[in-house]
Each structure stands twice: as C-alpha cells, then as structure tokens.
A and B are shown apart, each in its own frame.
Chain A
Amino acid sequence: MEKSLDLINARIRDGTARVVTAEEMPGIVDELGEEGALAEVDVVTTGTFGAMCSSGAFFNFGHADPPIRMERVWLNDVEAYAGIAAVDAYLGATQEAESKDRPYGGAHVLEELVAGGTVELRATSHGTDCYPRRSITTQLLLEDMNQAIMVNPRNSYQRYNAASNTTDRTLNTYMGTLLPRCGNVSYSGAGTLSPLANDPGFRVIGGGVPIFLAGGEGMIVGEGTQHSAGGGFGTLMVAGDMKGMRQEFLRAAVMNGYGVTMYVGVGVPIPVLDTGIVRSTAVRDEDILTDVIDYGTPRRDRPSLAKVSYADLRSGSVEIGGETVRTSSLSSYRRARAVATELKDWIERGKMELALPTRRIDMTKRARPMRETAVTPRVRDIMNRQVISITEDEEIRVAAKRLLKDETNHLPVLDENGTLVGIITTYDVSKAVVTDGKLRQVKDIMTRKVIKTTPDEPVDVAARKLEQNNISALPVVDATNRVVGILSAIDLGKLFGGRRRQ
C-alpha cells in the first residue's frame, strides 16, 4: 500500500489526518506492524531545540528622510553585515557587541525583537548624491521593519558528536564545560525526535518543505552549510518570517569561555507515504549512534573515545574506558518535544499542509576540510635541536652550572634510556638554594608532570600551551618520549623572521 500526499493533505483539510510525534511512532509500529502503521498514521512530526550557531536574519529597515545608504549597521551595538543595498542588513547570531562589558550578541538582539522589545539601530555612511545622509540612530520594534526574515545557513544536525576531555584542565567549548580527565560528557541532539534522523535518505525532507521554525512557519531552503549526510551529519538551511516567531523557541545563550549562540526550535512534518517512511520514522534512540570525541585534542581530527547511542547518552551516563561518566545535554529534549507536539497540533487543526521537496538534498555528499595553500608552521620548523639536558641523579650544583654555561633556563631531565622524566628551570634551582639546602639531586626538585609538545604539532597549538600554563619552554618529544628538541618562547619569534620551512 502507498498513500499520496494529496490524500494526506485532503485529510488535513477535513480534520481527519492522524498525526503522531516521532517519539510515539516506534511504539505504533511495534503494535500495528509496518503496513498497519502506514494505514493508521498520516503524518509524523519531529522536533529539536538546541544551540544552532549558524543562524541569523535579514532585515529591511525602510528608508529614512533624507535617505541613507547604510555602510555599517549596528543593532543594540552588535554589528550586522550591511554590504547588501541601502537599508538591508544580515545580523548573525554569534556576532558579539562592540562594548564587551557583558556577553551580548546577535542572538540576544534577535530574541529581544521576537519578544517585542525595542532595538536601537545605528548606521553610518559616507553619503552619496542619491543618499546624502551620513548617520542615523533610531529605535525599532520588529513590527517596524518591512521584513525580518530568519535565514539559518546550518540548522538541525542529523546527529552530533558528543564531547569529553582527557586533559588535566577544564575546557570551555561550544559543547559546554568539559571537566578534566573525562569528568563528563556533553551531547546535543533530540535522538528519536531529530528531524533528519527520521528521514536519513532525504526522501521527503528537502527544499521547499514547510516546517516549524522558532514558533512560526518556515521552510527548508535546501541542504545546510557543511552538510555531510554521507557521513551521517546532514544539515538543513531554513528560513522563516521572524514576525511569526516566539521567544519560547528562540533563545540567546552564552557558552562560557566560548561566546554567544542561539537556541532554535526546528520541527519538520513527515508525510507517511509508504512503508519505507514508516521504517525510517520508527527510529529509536538506540539506533542513532555517535562518537564521544576528545576535545582535549586541539586539532580538526579529534580522536574518538567511545561509540555510544542516544539511548546511552540520555540514560545519564556512558562508559569510557571502563569508567562510568555522567552526561549532560546541551539541547533540550523537553522543548524538542514541545516543538513536535505543537507542530502536530498545527497539522491536526489544518494550519499547515505538507509539501514534497521541490529540490532534493544529496544524501551521499560529504563535507571536505579546508584546502590550505600556505603550510601551517609546525614545531619542528622552529624548535631548537641542540638540547641541553641532565639526568635525574645529578647534583643540583651540576644543573646550575649547566644552566649558566649554556645560557638556558630550562633543562629537560632524562633517565638512563634518554626518555623524558622531568624538567627543571633556573627558578627551581634558585628556590632549592634559598630553602634549607637539604635537597641535593635534580630528582628532588624537578617537575615530573612535564608539559610538552611534538615535532608535528602546529606552532599555534604549542604557543597556546605556553600561554595557558604560563611557562616559557616546551620539551619536544618523539613517539617514544625521547627529547628531540626544545621550543622556547624565543623560538616563536623565528616565525616573523623568515626562517619558515621552504
């Protein structure tokens, strides 16, 4: 059996369509079987509510008298992109206010407008014959704008990597606070309710499809930026009129130590046309797998620590290397459910009819990394290969002499095999001298937990280690922990002196 979209829309119009949320669907399929569910259910509503940084809105402010060709535009001190016609601008959610006395950004302005608040528009121009005005400041409500069209380049990820942190310090990331030594796992996504998880083949989700966007009616433009459905990370570009949106489903947020983002509610209605759709909408949290990624690795390709399902993540804890680690969600399941439930209500009341994609989204496409034409400098390019070192059984006096003779401030400490076991600095030696003098050997005063780098590490990453730990040199070790060089703050200066790798 198959069902046509026309039939489903006719049922929506006469109020007889059977609409369920994606959370209810697996149970219905269990009970009635696939054919039974196809006969029973006409529409499955999905929903998600989480941080979606890649969001923003186009505005048309109308013309002032005398008119101005706005070159730079600020809304509540947050700059909007004004390189589009005289009184148009695009405000991005993550753009932050110029005066940084509190975290405030584009998302806050968008929320303020949707909540009915007043926003200050300020714009400047050099003045032209047709647009003589050079500056303007005015107070605007959402209703004062000709258009306020939200266009979010990347929303509604199919699934998202969960995050943890193997380093010894707390990381503040766009995935929230990550405690040291895998102290927690943070994740995002609505699992069984997630729009794209319910149609991973992009059969009925595509360009032109009507959706719920932040409490108002919107539509899917097409694939989102960084869309990578081939790897299970599909995304959507969506648009909608801000004038129909509600604060409940559009909330500014601040990720501590990272910056401003915006929580957006997105829901896609799925017409149940055949048993293929029945099957894909019967997806459960258990079926949706993702990796727990180590955000302690400051690189593009971060290692996976564990493979988990959304059922695991939502249970409150997951296993990583035999340890139980507590999980936190960044997206709100409660509000994702509210999105799906409200969308269901819209369709039951005939407020929204469904449409098939006018433009299909490629389910095989994969996002590529950036093509970098300049070589990123690595530690090996600037490190000092002449390493002056010492062994742990030497007298402190010997260390002091060596530091003096070689005019260095750092001595990596090696064991008999030449592997790194510690480090001492001129400061450590001075401290040993002024205390009671009972400490005799290098091993008594050395720092055993050495912050180090590798020849392959990008210089930017090594420089951040120096800065964060307030130190001035890093031993460079190979895969077997043997010291092959030392990178000091002074070496960083070589980057500006033309001694880069050719």
Chain B
Amino acid sequence: MKLLLTFSRKGRSDPGREPVIARVVKETGVLINVEKANIDSMAGEVLVDVPDADADLVRRRLEEAGVTVRVMENAIARDEAECVDCGACISVCPQEVFSFDEEWRIRVSSERCVLCGKCIQACPHGALSQQG
C-alpha cells in the first residue's frame, strides 16, 4: 500500500528534522520502500510503499511522530468522460501503470503509481489527475 507522508521541517522539534522513517523501520521491523522523496529546508513529502498487512501499524507510528499520513488508494484518477483511450500515457509512465485491455481500453494499475506526474502532462485530453 502506498502512503504519502508530509511533514514540516521549520522548527527544531519538527518531525522532518528526525530520522522518522528509519526509526519506524527499526522499531517495527517493517520494510518501508521509499519511492519518491521531495524534501527542502521547510517541509518534506515522501511517498512510501509498505506491505498491506503492516500499513496500519506504520501509519500509526508515523502519525505519533508528527507526520501527516495519507493512504494513496487511487493515486492517479482517470476521467472516463474525457479519456478517448488513445494510449499517450502508456509509454511516458516509468512505472507501467497504463496498458490496453483486450478491447483497447486503457487499464490503470494505480497501485504502481509513484506520483511522478508525467502522464498528467502527456494526456492530450486532460483526463488524468492526481488524487485529492
């Protein structure tokens, strides 16, 4: 399951100044896969992948540490009214989220998405957007 973590780094005691992810890995033994991280002097946003069974535990621990956690169930949303099933999204996606089904309809394997945003830009019909 993908979790999107956001945290502040402004104050000395903010979670972003602490090795929160490493601490949760050490305490829980859950292997957390960091898929994307964007951290600057003021704030951070990290996308992690964790086994479904451990997601609640990891989420609870991170929240206790002051991190805002959002479960990314449908990271990328496809507007069926706008999509014409062309396939422009397929080859620009580094994660192979998109493919054709037998009927040449676009199939979205949203769980693979790492929110890079390439497909959103590449879609000629503005049919793709990032959740929430």
A residues neighboring B (CB under 8 Å): 49-51, 176-177, 179, 183-186, 251, 253-256, 261, 263, 316, 325-335, 337
Contact = CB atoms under 8 A, between A and B. Distances in A.
B124 A255 contact: yes
A337 B91 CA distance: 22
B105 interface: yes
Say what secondary structure dominates the interface of chain B.
loop
A51 B92 CA distance: 18
Interface in B64-91: 84-91
B50 interface: no
A51 B86 CA distance: 10
Given A263-B86, A328-B88, 10 more contacts: A184-B92, A186-B88, A186-B91, A251-B125, A326-B90, A327-B91, A328-B91, A328-B92, A334-B104, A337-B104
A24 to B, nearest CB: 15
Contacts of B90: 316, 326-329
Contact of B88 (A177, A333, A334): A177
A185 B90 CA distance: 10
Given A177-B92, A185-B91, A253-B125, A263 B84 contact: yes
Interface of B: 84-92, 99-100, 103-105, 118, 121-122, 124-126
Nearest to B85: A334
Q: Which 6 A-B pairs have the closest CB atoms?
A: A184-B91, A253-B124, A328-B91, A329-B87, A334-B104, A326-B91
A185 B91 CA distance: 7
Contact of A176 (B85, B103, B122): B122
A462 B82 CA distance: 39
Nearest to B124: A253
Contact of A177 (B84, B99, B118): B118
8 contacts: A176-B88, A184-B92, A263-B84, A263-B125, A328-B88, A331-B86, A332-B86, A335-B84
Contact of A335 (B85, B88, B91, B100): B85
A327 B92 CA distance: 9
Contacts of A179: 91-92
A47 to B, nearest CB: 12
A184 B91 CA distance: 6
